[in-house]
Structure 1
Amino acid sequence: MKNRIFSIFYHEYERRLQRKILNSEIPHHIAVIMDGNRRYAGQMGKDSSFGHVMGGEATERVIEWCYEIGVKQLTLYAFSTENFKRSEEEVDEIFNVINENLLKLYSDPRTHEKETQVRVIGDRSKLPAFLNESIEKIEKATKNYGKFYLNVAIAYGGRQDIIQAVRDIAGCISNGKLSLDEVNESLISKHLYPAPGASVPNVDLVIRTGGDERVSNFLPWQANGSDCAAYFCAPFWPEFRKIDLLRSVRVYQARETEKKQEQSYRVSKVVNFLEMGTREEKSEEIGQPQSI
């Protein structure tokens, strides 16, 4: 009985919260650091593979929720370059789970009904052949879609992303395709993963689960450069609920409101300053004797 009452309360709160956030601006691009799979498995008395499988199920739900509320671009941190330090057995487990989820996305009718373009960002040379085959398969099948973008970061590191972009630009300069004068922020952005001209855009909101308050080398160019909002929450990734997503969007909206108020205040100060200067000039003109 107690669980039933709690469930009713939870769903009513979720409904009201969603209705509230839909009345304001929804972030265009959300990036998620999906942390806590292993700790969740340990908490449940299971091995790490169980946590990664449950994390995959959470990922499927979050993709659906983001599409539902109107997010246009979602980037998921599935496997970082630092994750290669884990045991070979666990790395293989994670790659198998990622592969299964990509193939599930490929065959899921919702992917095609919602015209979801799936793109993988990261150093593919470090990935096993079977995973690269699945990546190519789903990217090819969804390359012409454009209603919703799902970016999956695998073997990804933010600094490495910037390094490969700089090397690519240096090569273009060396062979005469670009001049040094053409190098600017926009050009660098275009050469970031996944490919020149089709890179991941600036991030509006970063979410991290699992309790840690750090961004772990995730999209530094796109996140830090855009001064995006950040939402850190305690639930492990497999426990992430729709309410957690809605709360993160509420944080983004509150931040946007503060930024607009601050901007409005600054504009008001400038206008007042200019008006004061104009009044002083008029007073001086009135006080001056007219020439005969």
Structure 2
Amino acid sequence: MSWIREGELNLIERISANILKAGPMPKHVAFIMDGNRRFARKKQMERQEGHMQGFNKLAETLRWCKNLNIQEVTVYAFSIENFKRSQNEVDELMVLAKQKFEKLLEERENLEKHGVCIRVLGDLNMLPLDLQQLIAKAVVSTKTHNKCFLNVCFAYTSRYEITNAVREMAWGVEQGQIKASDVSEALLSECLYSNNSPNPDLLIRTSGVRLSDFLLWQTSHSSVFQSVLWQEYSFWNLCEAILQYQLNHTSIQKARDLHREHQAFVQLEADRACVAEHLQHHGNGKPADARRRQEALQHYTTCREERIHDFLEALQNRRDSYYNDLLSDAVVA
């Protein structure tokens, strides 16, 4: 089954979509696709078939999102917690993932036609080497596409992602690229796996009321829980979730604006404290006047931003090297 399905909405769906698009639309939607095993039991089918049906529903959902002008989709494909399942089921899921990424690579022309960029978020070192290499090919071959984005969270939990971001900042401090005083909420956000994406406008969880350790940092303002199993998810379920987003849009935007303002205030106060400490140590005991304090603050802020820019560039180069090394090893093999 293709990752990218062609085809327009039917007449009733198009009319409904146009009505929705008259209001504020989410540009980035995240999905917790829950219910695969329960669906299999309900339909008395093999567990693997339930997972296969789940992938087919993803392809269908991506088509709906494309027709609704939703430019970015993030899906929870495989949690680190899933490694605790039986070895047989884990092996089945790894085989299915390998098949689907092989299929994706066969569709590169179609992905290029639609401008689809594939990103995989998680600790790929936990995966079999052949699957890592397939993922690397998919990511590298589509990284220049910029019309729409599909982020697949694989070997992922949010707590692990946040912990890894802290490790990345610690690495930057150890390397002398940034100072301990540069560490902030904003910098941590830039060190997450999802740093190249805006935070989701809407998080949809099917068949449950838990976030399951998914995008906890990024989705604090907009979540919708729907009782339907993922395989039974419909265009109308998606419309319902978008409508809920629209009804709460004003309060969501207000909360986000307040958070951004608070972040800016905290950063400014931190910069002022660093500058005040510096002036105290280098001012020969004389208090600095307002002009000198302002000039010192501007200089400090500029230097901090340059350090952070260079650090994030080095971090991105390190991540790119991981994929390139995987591809080189695949060629040698």
Quote the residue 1:223 is aligned against: 219
Distance of 1:52 and 1:97 partners within structure 2: 8
Shift of 1:13: 5.0
Shift of 1:178: 0.3
**Contact 1:123–1:155 (CA<8 Å) still a contact in 2?**
yes
**Contact 1:122–1:157 (CA<8 Å) still a contact in 2?**
yes
Q: Structure 1 187/124 Cα, relative in aligned 2: closer, same or farther at 3 Å?
A: same
Quote the residue 1:68 is aligned against: 67
The aligned amino acid for 2:75 is L
Distance of 1:178 and 1:19 partners within structure 2: 48
**What is the DSSP-based 3-state SS (H/G/I as helix, E as strand, rest coil) of the residue aligned with 1:222?**
coil
Distance of 1:144 and 1:57 partners within structure 2: 26
Quote the residue 2:324 is aligned against: none
Distance of 1:130 and 1:74 partners within structure 2: 25
Quote the residue 1:252 is aligned against: 245
Quote the residue 2:231 is aligned against: 238
**Contact 1:56–1:98 (CA<8 Å) still a contact in 2?**
no
Q: Render the CA deviation track for 1:244-268: whole Å, top value 9, x for unaligned.
A: 11211111111104557999xxxxx
Distance of 2:63 and 2:106 partners within structure 1: 15
**What is the DSSP-based 3-state SS (H/G/I as helix, E as strand, rest coil) of the residue aligned with 1:223?**
coil
- Report matched runs for 1:102-181 at 5 Å: 102-108=101-107, 109-181=109-181
- Report matched runs for 1:1-292 at 5 Å: 14-108=13-107, 109-193=109-193, 198-210=195-207, 212-224=208-220, 227=221, 229-258=222-251
Distance of 1:132 and 1:188 partners within structure 2: 25
Shift of 1:234: 2.0
Aligned length: 247
Distance of 1:215 and 1:242 partners within structure 2: 22
TM-score by length of 2: 0.70
Shift of 1:17: 2.5
Distance of 2:29 and 2:252 partners within structure 1: 18
Q: Structure 1 93/16 Cα, relative in aligned 2: closer, same or farther at 3 Å?
A: same
Unpaired runs of 5+ residues, structure 2, are 1-9, 257-333
Q: Structure 1 260/127 Cα, relative in aligned 2: closer, same or farther at 3 Å?
A: closer
Distance of 2:19 and 2:39 partners within structure 1: 31
Q: Render the CA deviation track for 1:38-75: whole Å, top value 9, x for unaligned.
A: 11011111121010010011111111211221112110
Distance of 1:104 and 1:39 partners within structure 2: 26
Distance of 1:76 and 1:252 partners within structure 2: 18
**Contact 1:120–1:153 (CA<8 Å) still a contact in 2?**
yes
TM-score by length of 1: 0.79
Q: Render the CA deviation track for 1:5-29: whole Å, top value 9, x for unaligned.
A: xxxxxx6653442121111121121
RMSD (CA atoms)? 2.1
Distance of 2:255 and 2:48 partners within structure 1: 47
More divergent stretch after superposition (214-223 vs 200-209): 200-209
Q: Structure 1 137/52 Cα, relative in aligned 2: closer, same or farther at 3 Å?
A: same
The aligned amino acid for 2:173 is I
**Contact 1:117–1:146 (CA<8 Å) still a contact in 2?**
yes
Query: Structure 1 vs Structure 2: percent identity of aligned residues?
Result: 35
Distance of 1:216 and 1:241 partners within structure 2: 22
Distance of 1:252 and 1:117 partners within structure 2: 25
More divergent stretch after superposition (108-117 vs 50-59): 108-117
